[in-house]
Amino acid sequence: MLRRLSLLLAIGLILTGLSALPGANSPVRPAYAAPAPSGGFNEETKKLLEKGLTVVEIDREIDRIAGLRAAAEKGIEQTSQKLAEQEIAIVAKREQAGRVLRTYYMGQKDAMWSALLNSRSLKELLATWELMDLLFQSDHKTLKSYEDEYEDLQKGYRTLERNKNELSQVEQELRAQRERIQALQSELDSLLAASGDEEGMRKMMAEMQAYWQNVGLYEVKQEFRALSKAMSKLPDWLKEHPDALKTSGLKAKLTITDAELNEFLRKQDDRLSQIAIAFASGQMILEGSNGDIKVRIEGHYTIENDPKNAILFHVDKLVFNDLELPDTTRQDLEREFDLGFYPQEFMSYIKADSVELTDGKLVVGLKLGK
């Protein structure tokens, strides 16, 4: 009996010690493995998996647009309520302004001018003038108050109209994406039914979708975030490398090689050591890998002047583990991360007016002026 009690006590102490270990009570996160056969995907499987990812990404875009619609509807409601309150308030202001104007048009202020002109002493003249000045200031304040209230009301109506237009555009986009996902889902169902292994393919698609949503998208965003942060420091590099800028009269040319850009980026963030950038004719290519993840990004630069002069990067193609992702994913990354750069942060008196990508080089045409 004593031996049994000793054994139970020992087991209890062991269990207590285990429960005290760090992470013993922490939830276990599921591990996601990259669902890719050693030989890669055949064309049929690749097509199905790409469509499966497209469905997931369009669904994510629909959620984003639905959020915009909710924000637009809330904006319309708030603006309408504010306008109703302003309409009530401006009635009193309009009546006050009307009374002021009537006193001038109907000659009710003439008596004051007469009193001023008929003053019998300097003291009386100054007192009358001071009184008139106070009345004129009060009248001006009343008219200005009405003018300001009226302008605020008109701004409110313009805001309301803008919100309604935005809501209309958002709803059109939402309908288009819903129609797109319905057509794609129907096409996907037909392809799966004809695949000969519908159950197996659906399982592989579900695994790939889960891997993208829980691992792939996060890693891709981390890379874009690191790139965006590094590119914001490019003006500092340019200041340290003035030889990259060649001037000729009122024009200048900035040339950066892909080797120089890679070296610069890798010094900014260790994560970027896994990425290689190459300039080709008309496009910039970024390729990187991290364990089971491979990413390829193709894009181009354009000159933009609104809201300020900039050289902005546009994603033309995004490939994750040999699977191309849809336009909605590319646009989402462009919205969230800025991979462009701004010449006026390098020199305030220059402006980019052309950009060209050639083999191994990025060439930016600059001119003097803002």
Query: What is the predicted pLDDT for the residue at 216?
Result: 92
Distance between CA atoms of residues 18 and 3, nearest Å: 23
Domain boundary among 193, 214, 240: 193
The token pair at 290 is: 């991290």
User: Does residue 33 belong to any structural domain of this protein?
Assistant: no
In a domain, 296, yes or no: yes
**Statement to judge: residues 106 and 248 lie in one domain:** no
The pTM score is 0.72
Pairing of strands 245-248, 350-358: unpaired
> Are 73 and 176 part of one and the same domain?
yes
How far apart are the C-alpha atoms of 343 and 349, rounded to whole Å? 9
Q: DSSP of 313-342, one letter per residue?
A: EEEEEEEETTEE--HHHHHHHHHH----B-
In a domain, residue 73? The reply is yes
Q: What is the pLDDT of residues 95-128, one digit of tens each?
A: 766 665 556 555 555 555 555 556 667 666 666 5
Distance CA 187, CA 189 (A): 5
State how far the Cα of 44 lies from the Cα of 51, in Å rounded to an integer. Answer: 11
Which of 40-44, 59-63, 293-297 is least confident?
40-44
* Most confident listed range (23-32, 152-161, 231-240): 231-240
- Asked if the model's pLDDT at residue 256 lies above 80, the reply is yes
Indicate whether 249 and 352 sit together in one domain.
yes
Is pLDDT of 14 > 80? no
Backbone region of residue 218 per phi and psi (left: phi > 0; alpha: psi in -120 to 50; beta: other values) = alpha
Same domain for 157 and 95, yes or no, is yes
Judgement on whether residues 189 and 238 belong to the same structural domain of the protein: no
Domain boundary among 178, 193, 208: 193
Residue 166 belongs to a domain with what CATH number?
Answer: 1.10.287
Q: Which domain holds residue 313?
A: 224-368
Q: Which pLDDT tens digit goes with each residue over 134-155?
A: 666 766 677 677 677 778 778 8
Do 241 and 131 belong together in one domain?
Answer: no
Edge-first strand order for the sheet with 251-257 is 245-248, 251-257, 361-368, 350-358
DSSP state of 30: P
Rounded CA separation 48/45 (Å): 5
How many domains, the chain? 2
Pair 139, 228 in one domain: no
Q: For the residues 338-350, what does the mean pLDDT come to?
A: 87
Let me know if residue 28 belongs to a domain: no
C-alpha span between 91 and 292 (Å, rounded): 68
Would you say residue 357 has pLDDT above 60?
yes
Domain membership flag for residue 22: no
203 part of a folded domain: no
Q: How does the average pLDDT of the chain come out, rounded? A: 81
178 plus 254 within the same structural domain = no
In order of 71, 235, 268, 352, the CA distances from 347 in angstroms are 39, 9, 22, 11
In a domain, 17, yes or no: no
Q: Buried (b) or exposed (e) across 40-77, using 16+ Cβ within 10 A?
A: ebeeebeebbbbbbbbbbbeebbebbeebbeebeebbe
DSSP alpha helix (H) spans, the chain: 2-19, 43-105, 110-117, 122-193, 198-211, 217-231, 234-240, 258-268, 327-336
Model confidence at 181: pLDDT above 80: yes
Q: Is 243 found in the same domain as 156?
A: no
Any domain includes 19: no
Same domain for 47 and 179, yes or no, is yes
285 and 348 in a single domain? The answer is yes
Are residues 189 and 62 both part of a single domain?
Answer: yes
Domain final residue pick, 174, 193, 212: 193
pLDDT at residue 292 greater than cutoff 90: no
Place of tokens 């919205």: 335
CB under 8 Å to 170, separation ≥6 — which residues?
65, 68, 69, 72
pLDDT at 23: 40
Residue 196 has pLDDT above 70, yes or no: yes
For residue 307, what pLDDT is reported? 87
